[in-house]
Each structure stands twice: as C-alpha cells, then as structure tokens.
Amino acid sequence: MAWYDRNKRDLPWRNTTDPYAILVSEVMLQQTQVERVVPRYLAWLERWPTVRALASASGGDVIREWQGLGYNRRALSLQRAAAVVAADGWPEDLRSLPGVGPYTAAAVASFAWDRQEAAIDTNVRRVLERREGRFTPGRVVAALVAGEPVPDVNERILAGLERDGLIVRADGHVRLP
C-alpha cells in the first residue's frame, strides 16, 4: 500500500464510486493499455453518462465509439449489460450481466460499493499459483509434451482440458490426443 500511495496514477475511474463508470473502465481496460483508454473513457461517459443513455444508444453508434479499443463484442456486451441494469437495477451477482466475469464483477463491487471482494486478475493468479505450487492447465499440457507424468491436478482443470480437446483420459491415465 505504501508503494501504491507513492506511485499511483491519477486515473479518472479512481475518482468515482459510480458502478456504471467503473464498469465502463473495467471493460475498456480488458487487454487495452491505460493510455489508450483514458481519452476514450472520458469521451464515452460524456456521450453516455448513465446506463439508461447507453442502453438507448444504437449498436452502430456504440461500435463506432469503441473503435480502437479492440474486441468490439465487449462494447456490445457493455451495452447489453447497461440495458439489463436500466430495466432491472444492479443485480446482486454482477456476473449475471452480459460480458461480466469474476474479475470485473469483483472490481466493480469493490470500487463502487466497497465490498470486500478480491479482483483476481491473470497476474495475481500467476503469483498465487507459483506460491502455492499449483499446476495450471498450461503446465499440465507442458508436462505431457515433455513426456513427464502429470502431477496430481485439480479435476476441474483436467475436465476443462478434456473438453477443449487438449488431453484424453483413459484407464486412469492422461495423454495428449
């Protein structure tokens, strides 16, 4: 926290508790550099300052305003989420909104409503997995490629790898397809 206090950047979404503004920032920041997001975020909120305003916008306008941020489906998901909130209010579980996953839901809940929810991103997850010595799906596949035995791995990870066609399980063994 001391490092953050000395090094934090003054970013517009850090100066609000408006869940809509925070949701916009979190969606825009997905795989997009902060420097590219700041001016687009400000323009977006000037054009559509509320969920109702965004919900009533045309899909074409939303996509045009999103250009340059990549992954246009994020813009349309954000608009669909705004439509849900405009119609029904903010849901208790934000993951029920279109395009909102665990990280975004936790970030919005934490920053907007001061809920004690940890927003675990890829970098945090990687550090935790190293600390705990846990195996990720990528490490499991890497072990198989190297011809090493697969360590004791969480069933959820194995099921996901099998579903994605990256492994085959038979007779208690795991192998590449």
- What are the angstrom distances between the C-alpha of 132 and each of 68, 121, 125, 126, 151? 38, 16, 10, 10, 14
Q: Which residues are catalytic?
A: 26
Strand locations in the chain, DSSP E?
A: 168-170, 173-175
Quote the DSSP letter at residue 10.
-
d(CA 99, CA 66): 15
